[in-house]
């Protein structure tokens, strides 16, 4: 039996440059720009494209040696592109990134509308699926009710106490699989107010490849980490190992984990209000273990998604036969995923094989071919997965939208309802670009501009990230 993703209210919260300025080669880093964007992920690219469209000089400064941020595609290891980070685009009809697929010459295709539940070594029966769906509706309603309360609480505390035998499954699906953190660490307000997401679409070439195409004609200085932002005076000065840039405004899209670690020094220091907001939006843990399984020993269809019934925190989520290939991805998240990642690549692969063997039998072991893993917590330019508000931290997203003189923040963490998604990061980048352009006088004040029509919202569920 399968489960419609529309039956689960909350989803994850779910990411060759044409003109790349490489300061250590022939193309030097410019000395000035109208606006400097820190970070070439979805938010940074969206901001830069909007600024360029306004005919203002923009430079994107990226610490990594590639664009895309948490959208990264490995096109070399397997027969099909493997999305190491974000892989879903939700609400295709209203998604600003999905709307760019045709101009970027990439192909989107619908994700399956169902997921399977494994109970031991068999699929859940019809009555068991119905029982799970009933329990999931109750759990979602309880979190939604908590989100309307006067005081925030851990989302785990909002769950009904009589969800067995589905307590562990729902805790995993609503917590680690959806947000990259255990449910006890998640603000009920933040989870309840996140925008529901439909089953979404995949990108055949990979979302990282898609981001690279969207970066064409955007001036990006790769392998150029920003070490210091001097923002207290009339102008702005951005320091990097390759030199300094002067600008009228700066848009910071670095992850909240990077900001919390102080890897970018702000002079003067950021106000306590912003620092507290950053600290309440720390990134969770979400990694992927990719395995080639020859001969389809799992007996699953293209892009099938599988979860299991159980209360063991050592659990995962499977996407099988990616794009019709023999490649399968085992996703681990939350505190268990973090512990596994700390133990290293071999421990991650061993768990994935053990978990699949437990669900599908010993034939899995002999079918394993090439493998790859992600370890986003150890990536120094990212340091985690999705931003998740701690209890009392939901308003932190709005705080980060506030400009500081000519400093603006953007990224998935700076979107109140689409956090954890590529669309949320993109919309945040465009919004920050609009604010920065107004700051430097390139746009009329917002009160003089026509208001955009509201986006059509969907109220269906989402698959995990």
Q: What is the pLDDT of residues 278-289, one digit of tens each?
A: 999 999 999 999
Summarize the confidence of residues 118-132 as an average pLDDT: 96
At 24, the pLDDT band (50, 70, 90 cuts) reads: very low
**Whole-number Å distance between alpha carbons of 268 and 407:** 12
User: Nearest Cα to 123, choosing from 370, 298, 6?
Assistant: 298
Instruction: Write the DSSP assignment of 261-295 as a string of letters.
Output: TT-SEEESPPPHHHHHHHHTT-B--EEEEEEEETT
For residue range 225-275, what is the model confidence (pLDDT) as tens digits? 999 999 988 789 999 999 999 999 999 999 999 999 999 999 999 999 999
CATH code of the domain in which 247 resides: 3.50.50.60
CB of 67 closer than 8 Å to CB of 226: no
Rg from Cα positions in the chain: 22
The predicted structure's pLDDT at residue 4: 36
Residue count of the chain, please give it. Answer: 465
* Pair (185, 306) in one structural domain: yes
The predicted structure's pLDDT at residue 21: 52
Position 464 in a domain: no
How many domains are there within the chain? Answer: 2
* Pair (297, 426) in one structural domain: no
Which residues form the domain of 363?
2-11+79-86+115-196+284-378
For residue range 393-443, what is the model confidence (pLDDT) as tens digits? 999 999 999 999 999 999 999 999 999 999 999 999 999 999 999 999 998
**Whole-number Å distance between alpha carbons of 435 and 461:** 32
Position 433 in a domain: yes
Residues 6+ apart with CB under 8 A from 229: 38, 236, 237, 238, 239, 250, 252, 264, 265, 266, 267, 407
252/459: higher pLDDT: 252
User: Nearest Cα to 248, choosing from 27, 32, 25?
Assistant: 32
The predicted structure's pLDDT at residue 445: 76
* Pair (291, 176) in one structural domain: yes
* Pair (273, 308) in one structural domain: no
CB of 228 closer than 8 Å to CB of 119: no
Q: Which two tokens stand for residue 411?
A: 């990224």
For residue range 73-99, what is the model confidence (pLDDT) as tens digits? 999 999 999 999 999 999 999 999 999
CB of 229 closer than 8 Å to CB of 264: yes
The predicted structure's pLDDT at residue 199: 78
b/e per residue, 78-116, with b = 16+ CB within 10 A? bebbbbbbbbbbbbbeebbbbebbeebebebeebbebbb
The predicted structure's pLDDT at residue 352: 98
Q: Which two tokens stand for residue 122?
A: 């068999």
- Phi and psi angles of residue 74, each rounded to the nearest 5 degrees, phi first: -95, 110
Position 462 in a domain: no
* Pair (288, 183) in one structural domain: yes
At 444, the pLDDT band (50, 70, 90 cuts) reads: confident
Summarize the confidence of residues 189-213 as an average pLDDT: 93
Q: Is the pLDDT assigned to residue 447 strictly greater than 80? A: no
**Whole-number Å distance between alpha carbons of 426 and 15:** 10
At 446, the pLDDT band (50, 70, 90 cuts) reads: low
Position 95 in a domain: no
Summarize the confidence of residues 50-62 as an average pLDDT: 97
CB of 71 closer than 8 Å to CB of 399: no
For residue range 342-368, what is the model confidence (pLDDT) as tens digits? 999 999 999 999 999 999 999 999 999
At 2, the pLDDT band (50, 70, 90 cuts) reads: very low
User: Nearest Cα to 238, choosing from 10, 459, 29, 451?
Assistant: 29
* Pair (298, 439) in one structural domain: no
The predicted structure's pLDDT at residue 11: 37
The predicted structure's pLDDT at residue 368: 97
**Whole-number Å distance between alpha carbons of 8 and 172:** 13
* Pair (182, 267) in one structural domain: no
**Whole-number Å distance between alpha carbons of 249 and 316:** 43
The predicted structure's pLDDT at residue 54: 97
CB of 251 closer than 8 Å to CB of 262: no
Q: Which two tokens stand for residue 92?
A: 């295709």
**Whole-number Å distance between alpha carbons of 321 and 301:** 7
Q: Is the pLDDT assigned to residue 10 strictly greater than 50? A: no
């Amino acid at each position: 039996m399968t489960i419609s993703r529309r039956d689960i209210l909350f989803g994850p919260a779910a990411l060759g440059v044409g003109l790349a300025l490489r300061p250590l080669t022939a193309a030097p880093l410019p000395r000035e720009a109208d606006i400097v964007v820190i970070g070439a992920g979805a938010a940074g690219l969206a901001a830069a494209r909007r600024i360029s469209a306004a005919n203002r000089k923009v430079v994107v400064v990226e610490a990594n040696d590639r664009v895309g941020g948490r959208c990264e595609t490995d096109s070399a290891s397997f027969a099909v592109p493997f999305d190491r980070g974000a892989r879903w685009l939700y609400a295709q009809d209203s998604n600003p990134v999905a709307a760019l697929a045709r101009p970027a010459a990439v192909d989107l295709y619908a994700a399956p509308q169902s997921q399977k539940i494994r109970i031991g070594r068999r699929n859940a029966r019809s009555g068991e699926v119905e029982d799970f769906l009933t329990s999931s509706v109750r759990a979602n309603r309880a979190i939604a009710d908590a989100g309307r309360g006067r005081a925030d609480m851990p989302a785990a505390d909002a769950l009904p106490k009589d969800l067995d035998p589905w307590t562990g499954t729902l805790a995993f699906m609503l917590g680690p699989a959806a947000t990259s953190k255990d449910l006890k660490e998640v603000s009920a307000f933040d989870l309840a107010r996140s925008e529901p997401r439909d089953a979404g679409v995949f990108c055949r070439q990979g979302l990282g490849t898609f981001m690279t195409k969207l970066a064409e004609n955007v001036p990006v200085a790769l392998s150029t980490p920003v070490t210091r932002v001097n923002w207290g005076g009339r102008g702005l000065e951005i320091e990097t190992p390759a030199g300094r840039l002067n600008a009228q405004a700066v848009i910071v899209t670095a992850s909240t984990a990077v900001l919390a670690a102080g890897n970018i020094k702000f002079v003067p220091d950021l106000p306590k209000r912003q620092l507290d907001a950053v600290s309440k939006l720390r990134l969770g843990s979400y990694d992927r273990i990719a395995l080639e399984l020859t001969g389809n020993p799992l007996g699953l269809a293209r892009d099938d998604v599988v979860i299991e019934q159980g209360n063991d925190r050592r659990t995962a989520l499977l996407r099988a036969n990616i794009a019709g290939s023999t490649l399968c991805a085992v996703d681990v998240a939350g505190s268990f995923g973090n512990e596994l990642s700390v133990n290293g690549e071999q421990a991650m692969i061993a768990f994935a094989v053990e978990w699949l063997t437990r669900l599908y039998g010993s034939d899995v072991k002999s079918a394993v071919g090439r493998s790859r893993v992600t370890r986003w917590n150890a990536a120094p330019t990212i340091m985690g997965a999705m931003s998740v508000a701690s209890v009392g931290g939901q308003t932190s997203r709005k705080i980060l939208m506030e400009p500081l003189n000519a400093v603006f923040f953007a990224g998935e963490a700076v979107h109140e309802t689409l956090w954890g998604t590529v669309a949320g990061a993109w919309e945040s980048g465009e919004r920050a670009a609009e604010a920065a352009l107004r700051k430097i006088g390139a746009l009329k004040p917002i009160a003089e501009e026509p208001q955009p029509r509201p986006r059509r919202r969907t109220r269906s569920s989402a698959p995990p990230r």
